[in-house]
């Protein structure tokens, strides 16, 4: 049987926003202790959430589940102003772990709505980030999930239309949606800099580099709730390479990989590196030879919220 190669790629795994959010919870566990409440999953990864639960963190869907006066962390995905107002009304101590790149999108949306523009948000319905962004101006933002939704827009001719995007989308798919918007509304106002986060872009580019190296199958470490992890699978599949999203080594289907000569391995922006290394160890034990492809080095770092800095 020929030698089977496992090609890992950098960059992968945690982005600066995820690192910041996790450090927020770590610091609060050290300084405030438990019970510590987090609204929604701090980041979309089962292992990260489970690890914090074991340390006494209580994850809640809504603030009504948090006792008055308690400390609560807002997740990396951001929240609507109504949630912030509820926290103030309840006397909760809030530490906001919203990724600064998500906050950038919120600011854009508020500015466009204030200028009476029709606001289009490109994103996935029901995603925590989209819910928070849409909450900045309820009833004033139209969600577009695909090119087919653009044809359904009915803004009158001459209307000023602006668009923003969820930060964890497929770069290629978003480009197509924006092109469709631009075709219908030639004066479309777009973000000065792409709303898609640098890490999402870099990880998708890295998958394309794996395809160029002859990758025959892609493993993506990440949870099903992680939008950017699912997008990595889509990037490979759209280029004709099968891909599978796995939470860890227990999800590897060795029979499926039996006749594959070159498997690529990456991780979504919310997936911890120890899970990647566990996958590498499992395949190494099965005789796979590991090599690494580095497409670029990331050095982005976000400062902590002022309450913790």
Residues with catalytic roles: 129
Which residues are paired to 289 by β-bridges? 5
Enumerate residues 6+ apart whose C-beta is below 8 A from 132.
77, 78, 79, 80, 83, 98, 102, 106
3-state secondary structure of 57: strand
Whether the CB-CB separation of 17 and 49 falls below 8 Å is answered with: no
Q: How far apart are CA 53 and CA 42, in angstroms?
A: 11
CB neighbours (10 Å) of residue 23? 14
Residue 79 backbone phi and psi in degrees, to 5: -135, 165
Peptide bond into 35 cis (omega under 30): yes
243-246 sheet: strands from edge to edge: 243-246, 217-221, 262-267, 5-10, 289-294
Please, how many CA atoms are within 13 Å of residue 246, restricted to the half-sphere of its CB?
21
DSSP string, 207-256: HHHHHHTT--EEEEE--TT-HHHHHHHHHHHHTT--EEEESSGGG--HHH
How far, in Å, are 90, 142, 289 from residue 3 at the CA level?
61, 52, 7
With tokens 């870099």, the residue in question is: 202
Compute the distance between CA of residue 266 and CA of residue 241 in angstroms, rounded to an integer: 14
| Cα distances (angstroms) measured from residue 274 to each of 57, 207, 247, 250, 253 | 21, 20, 11, 14, 19
């Amino acid at each position: 049987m020929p030698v089977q190669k496992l090609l890992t790629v950098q960059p992968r795994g945690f982005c600066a926003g995820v690192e910041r959010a996790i450090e927020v919870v770590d610091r609060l566990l050290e300084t405030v202790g438990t019970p510590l409440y987090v609204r929604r999953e701090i980041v979309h990864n089962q292992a990260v959430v489970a690890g914090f639960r074991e340390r006494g963190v209580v994850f809640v869907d809504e603030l009504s589940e948090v006792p008055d006066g308690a400390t609560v962390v807002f997740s990396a995905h951001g929240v609507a102003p109504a949630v912030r107002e509820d926290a103030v009304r309840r006397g909760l101590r809030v530490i906001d772990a919203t990724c600064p790149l998500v906050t950038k999108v919120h600011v854009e949306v508020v500015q466009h709505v204030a200028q009476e523009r029709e606001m289009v948000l490109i994103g996935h319905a029901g995603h925590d980030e989209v819910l928070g962004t849409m909450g900045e101006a309820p009833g004033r933002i139209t969600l577009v999930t695909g090119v087919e939704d653009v044809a359904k827009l009915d803004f009158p001719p001459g209307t000023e239309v602006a668009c923003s995007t969820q930060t964890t989308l497929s770069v290629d798919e978003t480009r197509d949606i924006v092109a469709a918007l631009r075709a219908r509304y030639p004066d479309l106002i777009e973000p000065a800099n792409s709303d898609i986060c640098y890490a999402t872009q870099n990880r998708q580019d890295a998958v394309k580099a794996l395809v160029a190296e002859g990758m025959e199958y892609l493993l993506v470490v990440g949870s099903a709730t992680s939008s950017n992890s699912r997008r990595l699978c889509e990037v490979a599949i759209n280029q004709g390479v099968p891909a599978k999203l796995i939470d860890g080594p227990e999800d590897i289907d060795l029979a499926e990989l039996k006749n594959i000569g070159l498997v690529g391995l990456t991780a979504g922006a919310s997936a911890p590196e120890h899970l990647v290394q566990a996958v590498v160890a499992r395949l190494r034990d099965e005789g796979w030879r590991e090599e690494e492809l580095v497409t670029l080095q990331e050095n982005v770092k976000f400062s902590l919220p002022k309450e913790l800095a």
